[in-house]
């Protein structure tokens, strides 16, 4: 039986930037905001954190700051995903040294691999790090999906503790959950899928929306964990427009725009990401206004 590294809401935390540099002061403020909002874990240097354009030194500093600033209030999960297995292991080692509680490891992209290659890739790192490994399946970004049968094999590894499932394929997730039972802890990787996936056994969400509404997403997860799915479904309907608006362009473009509008940080991005298009920006602003966020 897998022991969850966390349950409920984990925030896939953005990386604030200003003048081309990481804004560590703003990052520290966001950590306090997340803790106050009931979030149980932070994913640092993941997709939403723009890990692809962070240097190894910036990543290590962010993970260390998150661990120190959180001071045990929330679990710290470090993104280590790479399409180079050796680089992923090196990132896991740095995360361990920086004080992370676990690592998040996305499927290889571009050079991708076979299902057998996925097993070898994840196993290689899980065998060599002391940190619990959470797998990350997001085929919309990587062009590669973890098959239910592959999950079933990986579930037997003692150091593979969970999965962030962001395929959006609820039927495939239901089959995966049936095959793995309680050997893996699953988390929704899409805010809009959280209620459906938790009804099928997921233990929470790794959320983008909770960057700006941590209390709401934490509350949604709490309702699901308590088994009150009618109330959770109603709450999901209440926030669905925000969940949708935050993905009208490539993540994290919209969430950074939203947080800038709300005065939480500068909305700066690193290329190749660019500011949100004006039409989508106006629509997002309207959603934020409807919820009283600006």
pLDDT in tens, 140-163: 999 999 999 999 999 999 999 999
148 within a domain of the structure (yes/no): yes
8 A C-beta contact, residue 69 and residue 28: yes
CA 210 – CA 207 distance, rounded (Å): 6
pLDDT digits (tens, 9 = 90+) for 247-279: 999 999 999 999 999 999 999 999 999 999 999
The predicted-structure confidence for 10-37, as pLDDT tens digits, reads as follows 999 999 999 999 999 999 999 999 999 9
In this structure, is residue 124 part of a structural domain? yes
What distance in Å separates the CA atoms of residue 78 and residue 118, rounded to the nearest whole number?
Answer: 20
Catalytic residue set: 136, 164
Q: Could you tell me the maximum CA-CA distance found in the chain, to the nearest angstrom?
A: 49
In a domain, 282, yes or no: no
Which residue range is the domain that position 214 belongs to? Answer: 8-228
If one counts the domains in the chain, the total is: 1
Does some domain include residue 3?
Answer: no
How many whole angstroms separate alpha carbon 163 and alpha carbon 257? 28
CATH of the domain at 109: 3.20.20.70
Please give the mean pLDDT across all residues of the chain.
97
What is the rounded CA–CA span in Å between residue 140 and residue 200?
A: 22
């Amino acid at each position: 039986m897998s022991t969850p590294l966390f349950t409920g809401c984990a925030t896939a935390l953005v990386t604030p930037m200003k003048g081309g540099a990481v804004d560590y002061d703003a990052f520290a403020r966001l950590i306090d905001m997340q803790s106050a909002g009931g979030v149980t874990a932070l994913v640092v240097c993941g997709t939403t954190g723009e890990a692809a354009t962070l240097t190894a030194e910036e990543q290590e500093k962010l993970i260390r700051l998150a661990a120190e600033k959180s001071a045990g209030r929330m679990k710290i999960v470090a993104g280590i995903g790479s399409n180079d297995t050796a680089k992923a292991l090196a990132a896991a080692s740095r995360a361990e040294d920086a004080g992370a509680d676990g690592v998040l490891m996305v499927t290889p992209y571009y050079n991708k691999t076979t299902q057998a290659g996925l097993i070898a890739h994840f196993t290689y790192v899980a065998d060599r790090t002391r940190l619990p490994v959470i797998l990350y399946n997001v085929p919309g970004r990587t062009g590669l999906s973890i098959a239910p049968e592959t999950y079933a094999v990986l579930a037997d590894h003692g150091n593979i503790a969970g999965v962030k499932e962001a395929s959006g394929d609820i039927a495939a997730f239901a089959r995966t959950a049936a095959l793995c039972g309680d050997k893996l802890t699953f988390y929704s990787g899409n805010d809009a899928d959280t209620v459906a996936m938790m009804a099928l056994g997921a233990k929470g969400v790794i959320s983008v929306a909770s960057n700006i509404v941590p209390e709401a997403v934490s509350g949604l997860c709490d309702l699901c964990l308590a088994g009150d799915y009618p109330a959770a479904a109603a709450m999901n309907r209440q926030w669905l427009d925000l969940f949708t608006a935050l993905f009208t362009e490539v993540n994290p473009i919209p969430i950074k725009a939203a947080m800038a509008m709300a005065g939480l940080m500068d909305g700066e991005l690193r290329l190749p990401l660019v500011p949100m298009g004006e039409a989508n920006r106006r629509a997002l602003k309207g959603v934020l206004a409807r919820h009283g966020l600006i």
